Amino acid sequence: MGEEEEMPKDSHETKGLYAFFADSPREARRQFFDSEPEMSRRGFFTGAGLVATGGLLGMAVPFYANMPLGLVPAAFASEDVLIGKDGLTLLNDRPINAETPAHLLDDAITPTARHFIRNNGLPPEDVDAAGWSLTVDGLVENTLELSIADLRTQFEVVTMALAIECGGNGRAFFDPPASGNQWTVGAVGCSEWTGVRLADVLKKVGVKPGVVYTAHYGADTHLSGKEGKLPISRGVTIAKAMTDNVPIAFAMNGGALHKQNGAPLRLVVPGWPGSCSQKWLTRIQLRDIVHDGPKMTGTSYRVPRYPVAPGDKVPKEDFEIIERMPVKALVTAPKSDSTASREVEVRGHAWSGDRTVSAVDLSIDFGKTWMGADLDEPVNLGAWQNWRRVVSFPEVGYYEVWARATDSAGEMQPFAIDWNPKGYLNNTMHRVALRVA
């Protein structure tokens, strides 16, 4: 049984509003926004303890069909859980999941306040950085226990800009919908991380022959509160772990890690699903089998090994682990649904797991014609690449700007979603709507 299936599938009367929108986006939307408010919301407010806020949504929300599936009505969002974050959209508050609107990801390096949050459990409270300890064990020549001071003094300290993208980024656009956090485009960020190379630490402990995989453990706790039950423990192939841009990081953008981003210590594994980048890191174990911790097995962070039709049921044994994330571009300016002048700079970022991006092209005519953007080299391997182009619109009116990246292996972003049951790896082109005045 996959780890995600162990979560009690109780009705929306007993679980939180966000969980309801995440697990049953279509049903949640129907109940919240359909035009018969009497019928549709009564059950929710009596059962979920949200009676006090019920009056705020006293009428049907117009044009709800245009809203991303799974978006929780803003009237209910309790954004105080996002202390130290700026402008993030809260998708869930237990556990906390929040994405960054595309136009707030415009910086070349993502500020800490704008790095998205994806939690599977509850972060540790009252973290003590000075007393923090990382154990490296399993199939090693000598087990090591390292404080953050040990890491700083015994290994070369490196700083790298590295992109982290959640495997489920883009899930909100799947049809039929996929359960899970309804990320639109903003479960991605590229901050500057300072730490030591995992590879250097592994060389020091001595990797025994036969090691194939790492196993990562963090100090967060399971939502159920069960002692010893882990919210997530994933790993990567030993080959990926030994690459030189996988840091064990103790600083973010030159300052402390944000509490929700894994303070005081985390892994950053660029190019692979964000879930590989264990936060609140306490232990790395080396194994001679593919790691089988929570969210490694079943359908978690896995996709069918063959193409499936939208909505198909796929046997669990036909799923395989996601490794590299696919090629993608994000438009960070102009902001979607805004008004632009006849000439405007379009810009954003592009990335492709374990590869580089070789071209970004733009279309303002729904893909009929394309024009190349100026694309920067990555500042280091694993960083996203910035691109820009001044675009002239032929006349006033409504436009969509489409961006399409092509990577060093010649792979290009698709028009349509390659559907999979859990809604991973959506790298369809980002489209920004503009009214040119």
Which residues contribute to the site for ligand MTE (CB under 6 A)?
A: 115-121, 164, 166, 218, 220, 231-232, 261-262, 274-275, 277-280
Query: Considering beta carbons, is residue 264 or 334 the nearer one to ligand MTE?
Result: 264
| Number of neighbours of residue 230 by Cβ within 10 angstroms | 17
Residue number of the CB atom closest to Mo ion = 166
Query: Considering beta carbons, is residue 230 or 412 the nearer one to ligand MTE?
Result: 230
CB of 279 to ligand MTE, least distance (A): 4
Residue 124's binding partner, choosing from ligand MTE, Mo ion, none, with beta-carbon cut-off 5 to 8 A by kind? Answer: none
Under the rule (CB under 5 A), what is the footprint of Mo ion? 118, 166, 274-275
What is the token pair recorded at 99? 């994405």
Q: How many residues does the chain have?
A: 437
Query: Considering beta carbons, is residue 92 or 363 the nearer one to ligand MTE?
Result: 92
Query: Considering beta carbons, is residue 95 or 334 the nearer one to Mo ion?
Result: 95
Cα 70 to Cα 212: distance, rounded to the nearest angstrom: 38
CB of 268 to ligand MTE, least distance (A): 9
Residue 146, C-beta contacts closer than 8 angstroms, at least 6 positions apart? 133, 134, 136, 154, 201
CB of 266 to ligand MTE, least distance (A): 7
CA distances from 142 to 137, 201, 262, 285 (A): 7, 11, 26, 12
CB of 76 to ligand MTE, least distance (A): 22
Whether 160 contacts 193, CB under 8 Å: yes
Residue 369, C-beta contacts closer than 8 angstroms, at least 6 positions apart? 363
Residue 121's binding partner, choosing from ligand MTE, Mo ion, none, with beta-carbon cut-off 5 to 8 A by kind? Answer: ligand MTE
Residue 328's binding partner, choosing from ligand MTE, Mo ion, none, with beta-carbon cut-off 5 to 8 A by kind? Answer: none
Query: Considering beta carbons, is residue 235 or 334 the nearer one to ligand MTE?
Result: 235
Residue 407's binding partner, choosing from Mo ion, ligand MTE, none, with beta-carbon cut-off 5 to 8 A by kind? Answer: none
User: What SS3 state is found at 160?
Assistant: strand
Query: Considering beta carbons, is residue 90 or 166 the nearer one to ligand MTE?
Result: 166
Residue number of the CB atom closest to ligand MTE = 274
Helix 25-33 / helix 37-47 crossing angle, nearest 10 deg: 120
Residue 73's binding partner, choosing from Mo ion, ligand MTE, none, with beta-carbon cut-off 5 to 8 A by kind? Answer: none
Query: Considering beta carbons, is residue 117 or 375 the nearer one to ligand MTE?
Result: 117
CB of 128 to ligand MTE, least distance (A): 17
Percent of the chain that is helix, strand, coil (3-state, to 5): 20, 30, 50
Cα 282 to Cα 158: distance, rounded to the nearest angstrom: 20
Query: Considering beta carbons, is residue 262 or 334 the nearer one to ligand MTE?
Result: 262
Query: Considering beta carbons, is residue 334 or 382 the nearer one to ligand MTE?
Result: 382
CB of 116 to ligand MTE, least distance (A): 5
Residue 351, C-beta contacts closer than 8 angstroms, at least 6 positions apart? 163, 165, 190, 271, 325, 327, 328, 357, 383, 384, 385, 405
Residue 116's binding partner, choosing from ligand MTE, Mo ion, none, with beta-carbon cut-off 5 to 8 A by kind? Answer: ligand MTE
CB of 208 to ligand MTE, least distance (A): 26
Whether 264 contacts 127, CB under 8 Å: yes
Cα 173 to Cα 310: distance, rounded to the nearest angstrom: 12
Cα 6 to Cα 121: distance, rounded to the nearest angstrom: 14
Cα dihedral across residues 165, 347, 400, 371: positive or negative? negative
Query: Considering beta carbons, is residue 254 or 410 the nearer one to ligand MTE?
Result: 254
- Closest C-alpha among 192, 202, 210 to residue 250: 192
DSSP summary character for residue 153 = H
- Closest C-alpha among 403, 425, 411 to residue 169: 425
CB of 277 to Mo ion, least distance (A): 9
Residue 120's binding partner, choosing from Mo ion, ligand MTE, none, with beta-carbon cut-off 5 to 8 A by kind? Answer: ligand MTE
CB of 132 to ligand MTE, least distance (A): 14
Residue 419's binding partner, choosing from Mo ion, ligand MTE, none, with beta-carbon cut-off 5 to 8 A by kind? Answer: none
CB of 276 to Mo ion, least distance (A): 9
